[in-house]
Each structure stands twice: as C-alpha cells, then as structure tokens.
A and B are shown apart, each in its own frame.
Chain A
Amino acid sequence: MVKYIVKRLIYMIPVLLGVAFLISIILYLTPGDPASVILSSQATDAMRDAWRQERGLNDPFLLQYIHFIGGIVLHWDWGTSYVNGLSVTGDVMLRFPNTFLLACLTTVIAIIIGILLGVFTAKHQNTWLDTTFSVVGMIGISMPQFWLGMLLIIWFGLNLQWFPIAGFDGPKYWVLPSVALGVQNAAILMRFTRTSVLECMRQDYVRTARAKGQVERVITWHHIVRNALIPIITTVGALFGGALGMAMILEQVFSINGLGRLMVEAIAMRNYPIIRASVMLLAASYSFIYLALDLLYAAVDPRIKTDFENQSAGPRRARVSRKGAAHA
C-alpha cells in the first residue's frame, strides 16, 4: 500500500511539470505586455524593456520555463508578483483557503443531499416521489451556478435578509455560496447514486439478506449502499475538481476573496506569476484529492485493496471508470 502511494506521488511530478509547461506556454502566447499594463504611461520604452529584462520576460520560452521550475525546485520560489513585488506564495496562500473551503462545503452538501436523495428515490423507484425528485434533479442540473447564486441573493439576501450577500467571514456567510454551488452537484450525485443503488438492489446477496430475515434498514445501508459507493466516490472526486473551478465564478458573485478573484485580477493585470502559481496549486490539490479518493476505494472495497497490493502499478485511475467526468 505504501509502495502504491509513493508510486502515485512520484507519478504526480511529471503531471505537475506538464501543467506548468501548459500554463507557461499559454501565458507566453498571451498577447499584451505586462510592462505596459503595470508601469505608468510615462514610462519610456527603455524603462519598459529594462522592467521586462529584470523579470526574464525577454528570454526565450524554454529558458523562462526552466527558470520557473528551477526556482520552485531549488528555492521554493514561485515567483514575484508584478504588482506589489512580493512573493506570490503569500498572496496565493492567503486566498486559497477560502476557495478550498467553498469547494469542500459544496461537496459536503452534495454528498449529504445527493446520496440521501439518491438512495431514497431508488428505494421508491417508479413512484410519484421518484418522478418528482427526478424532475427536481433535472432542474437542479440545468441551472447555471452563478445564476442560481444571484437568485439566492435576490431571495434570501435582499428580500428575506436571512443571509449576508457578500464576503466569506463566518458560517453565516458560507451558506448562500455553498448552496448555489452545491445544488447542481447534489443533483448530479443524486442521479448517479440512484442508478448505482438500483444496480446493486438486483444482486443475489440482497435477496439472500432478505431471505435470512435481515432488517430492511441494514440491507439498504450495509448491503446495498456500501456496494453502490464505488462509482459514487468517483463522481465525488470529479465534482470536487469541478467545484474548485466553478468556485472562481461564485467568488465573483458573492465578492469572496478567493483564488478565483485573485486570478481574474491577475489576468487583467497580466500578472503572470500569480496566474501560474494559482493554476499549479489548483492542479496539485485536484491530483491529491484523486489520490485520496483512490485510497478511499481501498477502504470501502477490500477487493481493490488486494489489487493495489498485488500490482501496485499502472497508470492512475485506470481501473475505475470516471463516469463522473462527463458532468464535471
């Protein structure tokens, strides 16, 4: 097991190097000169050129890339913000917790509502309850999150005045953004849970459990749901990754000081080091979540654990199909 984890961690290195390469090349190809955005209009061409020279922007692409990677590897230096001249790690780490918290809250809401409703609708398959929740779920999937966020602001923020509509300073502030982001994920998860539970309900061991007189509650949660969890966990991983990304838009709606707002500002200012560091951080957290989920599979399903121990290799996520990716 440890061997497997180490292997997966090592595999993460080329992926993150690749992400760094991809984002560097996109930024390299981005038109617009940071020097003319950031320096005042009085700056002469020579001053701009010196400014660019100082930050290595005149170097060829590969050299810039090697400098960037080298800085991280040798000095843990992620670059210096063009705007305030400070290391970007300060700015990024100040904002990241908000984004991460929002994504976590969203996922928790999605897991609680989505899995409960999914199991419930599966148990009541083809009744009016099932139909009603299917329709509600379809509507939930189809509402753009930032629009739902604005609706929540209108209803619960402005009309009822139950919750504050801007900021992210305490549990009261967390409600609206995480619900706005969580509804869609909950609906997606509900549909997956329903399908997965329905598949498991037809298995022989469920009939056996019933035949031996097992209590229905234990059959549902122990026999059915536990076996139905595997595809659900995959979906949760994809949803969390999606939530990290979509949080950027919700931060704009609710004026949350998160990574998303930082990035939007940075893109406007052509503040490349901030963009690079933010993307790298999000990609890294995404990869770690996937690793954590793969380990969770092993905890849920002992069969997979033996698989891990036997082969302990192979490309990641190869075995478990990513059904959730379709909706992420």
Chain B
Amino acid sequence: MPDQTIAVRQPDETVIVKQRSMFRQILARLVRNRSAMIGFCLLMIIVVLCLLAPVIAPQGFNAQNISAKFQPPSLKYPCGTDNLGRDIFVRILYGGRISLLIGVVSTLFSAAIGIVIGLFAGYRGGSTDNVAMRIIDIVMSIPAILLAITIAAALGTGVNSAIIAIGIASIPIFARLTRAPIIQVKNEEYIEAARAISASQFRIMFRHLLPNILSPLIVQITINVALSIMLAAGLSFLGMGVQPPNPEWGAIITSAKVYIIDHSYMVTMPGIAMALTVISLNLFGDGLRDCLDPRLKI
C-alpha cells in the first residue's frame, strides 16, 4: 500500500502529516517489541545455521567415525558424538531442516484448508455452517496427537506423511479461529457495501473479510509451527514419523534413548535445539500478538 500524504492547512503554516500504512505501523511496533525481536533473532540464527548445514558440515549427517564414538560435548564436537561416532551437532543442523520443513509446510497446509473452511462456514452460514462445524466438532473430539498417529499409520512413515498427518490434525483450530470473527464482521457496513456493488462471493470473502480477521490467524500460524515441530517429534518417538537414520530432531532423540544411562547428552542436546526453536517461535508469536492487536496487550 503506497504511503498517503495529507496536507493540513493551518493559519500560518503547512504541516505535512505523513500517514503511514498499517503494515509499516505494525512493523515499527514489532521492531520495538523486545520479545518479538529476541524471538526473531534467535529464529533467524537457527534457520540460517540449518540452511547452511551443507556448508558447515559438507561430510553430511551420516558421516561415521567409529574411532570417536560416544565423545561427550567438547570444542571439537559441540554436542558430542553418538554410538556410530557421528557428530550430533551436525545431525541437529541437518535435522533442523527436516523439523522446520515439517513445521512450516504442515502449518501452511492446515491454515490454507482451515481458513477456507472457516470463511465459507462463517460467511455462508446456514446449512454450510452447520455441516462444516459439526464435522469440525467430530475431528476436534479426537485429541490431535491421536488423530495424527492414526493418519500416519494409514499413510506410512516418512516426512510427507508426517506433514499431512499433522496438518490434518490442526485444521479444526484454523477453521474455528477464522469462522468466529467472521460472524461478527460479515454484518459490517463495508461488507454490505461490497455486496451492494455486486462483488462476487469470493471477492468479498478473500478481499474484504479475510484481511480484517487476519491478525489472530497470523499469530496462530506462528505458534502452530512450534506445535507442529513438537507433534512431529512425538510421532517420530512413537515410530510413526520420520525414521532414523534421518536426523529429524524427534528421531535423533528416539534413537538415542537406548544410551540414556551412560550418555545422556545424546538425548539432551537435540532436545535443547528443539526447545530453543519452539521458544523463539513462541516469543515471536507473543510479540506479534501484542503488535497486531494492541487491545489484547495487558
């Protein structure tokens, strides 16, 4: 949105009041928000490290060095080595690529479907709403992890099925979060105006309704990435997600649990990486919530 300049003429001077766009206002608030910035910087460090994994460790995540197995954390091996002498730090970096990918893609998948369902249910109302919400009720009465497990069992193991299983399990949240505010917004005058100039249903839903209810959804998307990463790790832990030797964080922890008694760093290190990522996403999400909707700020 281009900036608008409004000239306000006063008796003896011309004051140019620069009206900033909504996006810039929020961005300015976000930069000043401590929790959002800490979260953002931490997240960026993690993402960049994970993306640079092939540069940092060109030998790959499965390079074994049997003579250096079970090395505790040291300068050479920041997170130690595992039972096959593989550098755990390198595995965490490569694993981050998988974990973050699952988190982001499954969230986008569920947000896309959930928002469309919520838009239709909220705007159309009547029987569309009834049917959609009853289906959502049904899906919601199964705990998310349980649903993800059964879907993952049906789809088989691997990254793709983990993404779909986790994605489906989070659709209801997005559908509900979209529908609830729409029911209030859809009776506003500007929607009536849009209808009066015979804007199409799709145009009203996606151009007029959606931008006005976007704030809580953006926050939920951020937090849902964190939840999905944890859910994916849980799936791997039950043996239904990404399989070792692929270094998804949950899979690294799972394959290390046999050595928990003598080499506990093999379990703690990947968990710390996951916790840091989740913390950064949650901090950013919290900050974002404060900036997008100042009314919510306490």
Contacts and interface: CB of A to CB of B under 8 A. Distances in A.
Contacts of B264: 154, 158
B237 A142 contact: no
Contacts of A244: 143
Contacts of B260: 150, 153-154, 158
B128 to A, nearest CB: 14
Interface stretch (A15-23, A46-54, A212-220): A15-23
A27 B155 CA distance: 10
B134 A142 contact: no
Nearest to B180: A321
Nearest to A246: B145
B144 A242 contact: yes
Contact of B267 (A16, A147, A198, A241): A147
Contact of B142 (A194, A248, A252, A283): A283
B234 A144 contact: yes
A328 B223 CA distance: 11
A306 B41 CA distance: 50
* Chain A: interface size category: 35 or more
A197 to B, nearest CB: 10
A279 B282 contact: no
Interface in A229-284: 241-242, 244-246, 248-249, 252-253, 263-264, 267, 275, 279, 282-283
A328 B151 CA distance: 19
A312 interface: no
Given A22-B139, A315-B133, A142 B226 contact: yes
Contacts of B210: none
Contacts of B142: 19, 22-23, 279, 282-283, 286
A139 B135 contact: no
A326 interface: yes
Interface in B118-167: 133-135, 137-146, 149-151, 153-154, 156
A275 B143 CA distance: 14
Contact of A146 (B141, B154, B234, B282): B234
B8 interface: no
B240 interface: yes
B81 interface: no
A36 to B, nearest CB: 16
A31 interface: yes
Interface string B211-253: 0000000001001001100100110011110000000001001
A142 B278 contact: yes
A22 B142 CA distance: 10
Contact of B239 (A144, A145, A264, A322): A264
Contacts of A14: 134
Interface in B240-298: 240, 250, 253, 257, 260-261, 264, 267-268, 271, 274-276, 278-279, 282-283, 298
Interface in A186-207: 194-195, 198-199
A262 to B, nearest CB: 12
Nearest to B150: A26
A198 B298 contact: yes
A325 interface: yes
B173 interface: yes
Nearest to B254: A146
B145 A245 contact: yes
B91 interface: no
B146 A199 contact: no
A242 B275 contact: no
A31 to B, nearest CB: 7
B146 A142 contact: no
A154 B267 contact: yes
A29 B177 CA distance: 30
B279 A139 contact: yes
A275 B180 CA distance: 33
17 contacts: A26-B154, A142-B226, A142-B278, A143-B278, A144-B233, A146-B237, A151-B267, A154-B264, A154-B267, A241-B143, A245-B145, A248-B238, A279-B142, A283-B141, A286-B142, A286-B143, A287-B141
Complex A-B, nearest 6 residue pairs according to Cβ-Cβ distance, in ascending order: A245-B143, A18-B138, A147-B271, A142-B278, A245-B145, A30-B154
Given A195-B298, A315-B133, 6 more contacts: A26-B154, A139-B275, A154-B268, A264-B238, A321-B180, A328-B144
